[in-house]
Amino acid sequence: MPSPPPRISGRLLVAARIAAETPGAGAAVREVMKRGLKIDQLARLPEELRGPLPMEHRPLSGRPAPRALEDARLGAPEVGPWPRDAAAYDAAFRRGQTTPRRVIERALGELEALASRTPTMNVLAASDKDRALRDADEATARRADGRPIGPFDGVPFLVKDEFDVAGLPTRLGSRCEPEAPASADATVVARMRRAGAVVTGKTVLTEWGMSPIGNNVNHKMPHNPFDPTRAPGGSSTGSAVGVALGLAPIAAGGDGGGSIRIPAALNGLFGLKPTFGRVSRAGDLFAGSVAHAGPIGCCTADLATFLDVVASEPDPDDAITRWAPRPPEGGFGARLGAGVRGLRIGVDDDEWRDASEPVARAGQEALRALERDGAVLVRLRTRLLRHAAPIGYLTIAPESLAAVRAHWLERRALITDDVRMTFAVAEQFSAVDQLDAQRLRSGLRREVAALLADVDVIALPTTAITAPRFTDEDARTSFSDAGAIDGLCRFAFLGNLTGLPAATAPVGADAGGLPIGLQIVGDAWDEVGVLSVLAHLERTRVAEVRRPPGAIDLL
């Protein structure tokens, strides 16, 4: 199998970008990228793996309803002194140990200070301090009167800069987007504010979400909190680093090809991409058929509470939320204490062989722990899962380019070189390539639905590698690294192409202390089942959020 193209930056990247944008020469660059990202393999797949062109992207269920499994009634996992989850803030407020005002004042100060660290750990794209302090004062008054409006009341909340926040611009990590402030909150933001959460800032992301590594020369981008020479992951970069450093227990992210799960895994956190249609994308400037909104958090219970707040009812401003069934009685955290006895976990050994040794070892140790507690590991053989990433590249890149077509045609000089090269390559994919990828996507959806008729969840690595290199020099200049991109996205696109719920849990670290994630993929609309697996891993300390150097305790 050919090796992926090496990382290129500086003059070499500019030369490759110019070649990609040049008629004739661009075809050669496209073929190199197609081989490096394994896109060239798709045309040779057997015809029977293809389905009809999808007319809509409503997720397919493997079974009419989740199996009735035993509920061990173990209760939600207890979180220790670190990390500071929403329950810790709630308890501190109730005891009078601190107030929302004091917490938010400190959070705002610490968020500003991160930019001055060496190397920078900046997570902020924009902030409205006055609004944050007003909201904190209102939460403080409610707490003083003994009438909090929920577990997030007065708790700091970070928002990826793809969601509208009233009074702040939505820049999507690009210099092409306008500076005009949004007139209203995105639905996710509005519903979290309604629950009392205090928006302390909008977080940095990679340009238009196009890199899973975490590089974007348009912003001061943070490095990995566990090793400043390593990448933080993307595209929800600032959201993940902000939670990992203790600046909020929960953050809103977006996931079109792993952009919640990848940075959550690389920063040692929990992250959830819900079912397509579960969470409203109104006011979320990313769209298309693979983009999802969801949470990155420091514990499973906060992921469930986030969904209770933002996804318990359809949004009239987002038609696809009408697909979603009502949450079960007891909300999205109804089975956090259920345990895993009798749970059938699908495992494809061939998929796991594509993960690096430390990633495979940590994930398989976690699966063996689940097996000891009563789960049943079911061996699967799949044909299309290994091709999900190239199908995903042929989906997300053309959709993203079409979404920013005016910028591409009129403001191309403002786009970073790595994204320009990506778009130049995507522009040259043929219509036949793109439509054939959608037929393969249809076949993948069908294959995975059939698998989930027999198992409750599928277990995969979250990424094939741990955090790749990201030095100060990398942060200053654009670079392209097809090998790192494929290593990070290898197992992510399955969830985006099918629309199925997929989550990551921190289940270990490599020899250098870099976090490793285990991914759990569930049947359509079964976030409850996925979260129950994460909760059991957390309860048994198989999954654990570690405190990185330089983390901040707001309490």
Tell me the pLDDT tens digit for each residue of 208-267: 999 999 999 999 999 999 999 999 999 999 999 999 999 999 999 999 999 999 999 999
- pLDDT value at position 2? 58
Query: Is residue 299 within 8 Å of 77, Cβ to Cβ?
Result: yes
Residues with active-site annotation: 160, 235, 259
Q: What order do you get walking across the sheet with 292-297 strand by strand?
A: 124-126, 198-203, 156-160, 250-255, 292-297, 270-273, 502-509, 515-522, 457-461, 344-347, 376-379
CB atoms within 10 A of CB 324: 23
Please, what is the Cα angle at 197 between 299 and 223, to 5 degrees?
55
Of 40-54, 120-134, 352-366, minimum mean pLDDT range: 40-54
CA angle 516, 333, 79 (to 5 degrees): 55
Question: CA triplet 167, 169, 174: central angle to 5 degrees?
Answer: 170
C-alpha distances (whole Å) from 181 to each of 175, 299, 405, 415 are 15, 32, 22, 21
Q: What is the pLDDT of residues 58-100, one digit of tens each?
A: 999 999 989 989 899 999 999 999 999 999 999 999 999 999 9
If one counts every other C-beta atom within 10 angstroms of the C-beta of residue 373, the result is 17
Domains of the chain: 86-324+332-394+417-539 (3.90.1300.10)
> Long-range contacts of range 314-320, CB-CB < 8 Å, 24 or more positions apart?
315/187, 315/280, 315/282, 317/187, 317/280, 317/282, 317/283, 318/187, 318/280, 318/281, 318/282, 320/58, 320/276, 320/277, 320/281
pTM, 2 dp:
0.96
Mean pLDDT of the chain: 96
**What would the two tokens of residue 417 be?**
């070189």
End-to-end C-alpha distance for the chain, whole angstroms: 52
| Cβ atoms within 10 Å of 31's Cβ, excluding its own | 14
Closest CA to 418 of 10, 87, 116, 120: 10
- By the 8 A CB rule, do 9 and 479 touch? yes
pLDDT digits (tens, 9 = 90+) for 379-396: 999 999 999 999 999 999
Provide the residue type at 374 as one letter: G
Q: Report the pLDDT value the prediction gives residue 37, as an integer from 0 to 100.
A: 87
Higher pLDDT: 10 or 294? It is 294
